[in-house]
Amino acid sequence: MSAASLFLPLVGGDSPSEYVSHHLKHFAQPIGQGGFWTVHVDSLLVSVVIGILGIGLFWWMGRKATAGVPGKFQAFIELAVEFIDGQVRDVFHGDRRFVAPLALTIFVWIFLMNALKLLPVDLGPGVAKGAFGLEYFRLVPTTDLNITLAMSTTVLLLMFAFAIKAKGGFGFVAELFTAPFHAHNPLVKVVLAPANFGLNVIEYLSKPVSLAMRLFGNMYAGELVFLLIALLYMAGGQFLFGDGATLGSQAGGLLAFLGGVLAGAGWSIFHILVISLQAFIFMILTVVYLSMATEAH
Amino acid sequence: MTLNATFIGQFIAFAILIWFSYRFVWPPLVLAIEERQKKIADGLAAADRARKELADADARVADEIRKARVEASAIADRAQKQAVEIIEKAKQDAIAEAARQRAAAEAEIENLSFKAREILRQQVAELAVKGAEKILAREIDAARHRDLLDALAKEI
């Protein structure tokens, strides 16, 4: 085993493009005929486990929370709860008993799923392959569009539910045809109805799509950059210890490796911000959308 | 990047997680926080009340001290006055007593000098009589001329 083999990828092909495309493949399991009926077992499994762990932590704390002097962990949990409650209070004016725990769930879950990105890119696939013999495994569920779109679609359905609850079934449907362009003349109303309806459909659809795309895009792009940084390490290692290395190629390899270290550290530190920010944006936009759904135009 | 049944799975998982969070996670945490907030508010209110009570008590104490001081000085004044009175009275008594004793002594002296004069007079009278007896020898009968001699003694 040569020193250069230390810098070969743990999983994936030998060429850089093979490595990247290998890391972007899901552990997919077809149900029946496949096609749409395929499940990304990795995304689903990781997100459910992470969700149970994260929300379970809050649940466990909630069970043993006391009104007395809190311990450090309880204080931390309460800090998170109060922070989210404060954010929701600023945006959503109404009964927060459902919206606040919804916001907590979204924030905690997305934050934890995003946080998996700070693990080395080869760790998830490597463990999956080494321990379970799985060829493909993607660790970060939020880099899967299915996951983000499912969450934003849930938010869309909640928007409908909130709107119907606030305005009644008839009021909600009527508003689809009478807002945002208002008219008093019945004839003008009829003329404006298709335009209003079209605009409302677009408005309602753009919200979940933008929610899902924003989170997915940020995470997916970040993941790609992490993969490229990993390639930089590997290339550096190959040049340093590869066969027929000259002094020049070794110097270049060292530079590439050091550059990879620097870029990896910087990108990881930057992603501490990104993962929190994306979780926060998803949460706060959900609350904003629900607040808009309850208000009449 | 294809949409597939993962979407449905995640959709269900998310719905369950939201429900669980709404039902079991959020309420006890918020309850604990609100309870503690109430406790802290109560504690602060109690502290304020205690501070106010302390200030009141301080004011009362100062008031009492001031009153006590006034009273003490009144008592001292009264005591001084009384002392002066007692001394004055004692002085008066002493003067009166002294005067009385002097008077008694003077009376005694008067009395004694009178008695002494009386005795002296008697003795002089007796001496005179004895002298006269010696001079007159038998001519004068002591018994017969007693009243005469007495009168003489008195005159002396």
Q: Which is more confidently placed, B51 or A65?
A: B51
Q: Is residue B73 part of a domain?
A: yes
Mean pLDDT of B22-46: 90
Residue A2: what pLDDT? 57
How many Cβ atoms from other residues are within 10 Å of residue A23's Cβ? 24
pLDDT tens for A114-128 read 999 998 888 888 888
Strand partners, A39: A29
Least confident of A71-85, A153-167, B82-96, B129-143: B129-143
N residues, chain B: 156
Smallest CA-to-CA distance from A108 within A65, A180, A59, A150 is with A59
User: Chain B: nearest CA to A134, how far in angstroms?
Assistant: 18
pLDDT of residue A4: 62
Nearest Cα neighbor of B46 from B54, B114, A219 is B54
Instruction: Return the SS3 of A40.
Output: strand
Report the range of poorest mean pLDDT among A212-216, A249-253, A280-284, B72-76. A249-253
Phi first, then psi: give them for residue A25, nearest 5 degrees.
-90, 140
CA distances from A254 to A237, A258, A259, B132 (A): 8, 6, 8, 177
Contact by Cβ (8 Å): A8, A14: yes
pLDDT of residue A15: 78
B54, part of any domain: yes
**ipTM (interface pTM):** 0.83
**Is the residue at B156 inside a domain?**
no
Q: Which residues have C-beta within 8 Å of that of residue A146, sequence separation ≥ 6?
A: A40, A43, B3, B4, B6, B7, B10
Lowest mean pLDDT across A15-24, B25-34, B58-67, B136-145? B136-145
A146–B39 CB contact, under 8 Å: no
**Percentage of chain A with pLDDT > 90?**
41
- Average confidence score pLDDT of chain A: 87
Domain membership flag for residue B155: no
Task: Report, as an integer, the average pLDDT of A144-153.
Answer: 92
Number of domains in chain B: 1
User: Pseudo-torsion of CA A24, A27, A33, A37, nearest 10°?
Assistant: -80
Work out the number of other CB atoms within 10 angstroms of the CB of residue A95: 9
For B25, residues 6+ apart whose C-beta sits below 8 A from its C-beta are: A55, A58, A59, A62, A101, A104, A105
Per-residue model confidence (pLDDT) at position A157: 94
Q: Is residue B45, in this structure, part of any structural domain at all?
A: yes
Q: Which of A22-36, A134-148, B98-112 shows the lowest mean pLDDT across its residues?
A: A22-36
How distant is the Cα of A97 from the closest Cα of chain B, in angstroms? 7
Nearest CA in chain A to B9: A44
What residues of chain A, 113 to 152, have a C-beta less than 8 Å from chain B?
A: 141, 144-147, 149-151
Q: Is residue A59 less than 8 Å (CB to CB) from chain B?
A: yes
Task: Determine whether the interchain pair B5/A36 forms a contact, defined as Cβ–Cβ distance below 8 Å.
Answer: yes
Question: What is the structure's pLDDT at A32?
Answer: 77
Distance CA B23, CA A198 (A): 37
Residues in chain A, total: 297
Would the CB atoms of A146 and B6 count as touching at under 8 Å?
yes
Instruction: Let me know if residue B94 belongs to a domain.
Output: yes
The whole-angstrom separation of Cα A273 and Cα A52 is 24
In a domain, B43, yes or no: yes
Strand partners, A30: A38
Contact A58 B25 (CB under 8 A): yes
- Coil, helix or strand for B31? helix
Cis ω on the peptide bond leading into residue A101 (within 30° of 0)? no
Give contacts of A 148-187 with B, CB under 8 A.
149-151, 153-154
Predicted local confidence at residue A8, as pLDDT: 67
Grade residue A11 by pLDDT with cuts at 50, 70 and 90: low
User: How close B49 gets to chain A, by Cα (Å)?
Assistant: 22
Tokens 């003795």 — which residue? B123
Least CA distance to B28: which residue of chain A? A62
C-beta separation of A171 from A70 below 8 A = no
Q: What is the pLDDT of residue A273?
A: 94
Is A207 in contact with A151 (CB distance < 8 Å)? no
Q: How confident is the model at residue A253 (pLDDT cuts 50, 70, 90)?
A: confident
pLDDT tens per residue across span A66-115: 777 888 888 888 889 999 999 999 999 888 889 999 999 999 999 999 99
Place of tokens 């979407």: B7
In Å, the largest CA–CA distance within chain A is 85
Clarify whether A17 is annotated catalytic.
Answer: no
Amino acid, single-letter form, for residue A19: Y
Positive or negative, the Cα torsion across A274, A279, A283, A286?
positive
Partner residue facing B6 (CB), from A44, A82, A104: A44
Q: B66 is written with which tokens?
A: 């001031």
In a domain, B39, yes or no: yes
Inter-residue contact A200 to A176 (CB < 8 Å): yes
Residue A202 has pLDDT above 50, yes or no: yes
Enumerate residues 33 to 52 of chain A having a beta carbon within 8 A of any beta carbon in chain B: 35-40, 43-44, 47-48, 51
- Residue A1: the pLDDT is 42
Range of the domain at B108: 2-112
| pLDDT tens readout for residues A38-65 | 888 888 899 999 999 999 999 998 888 7
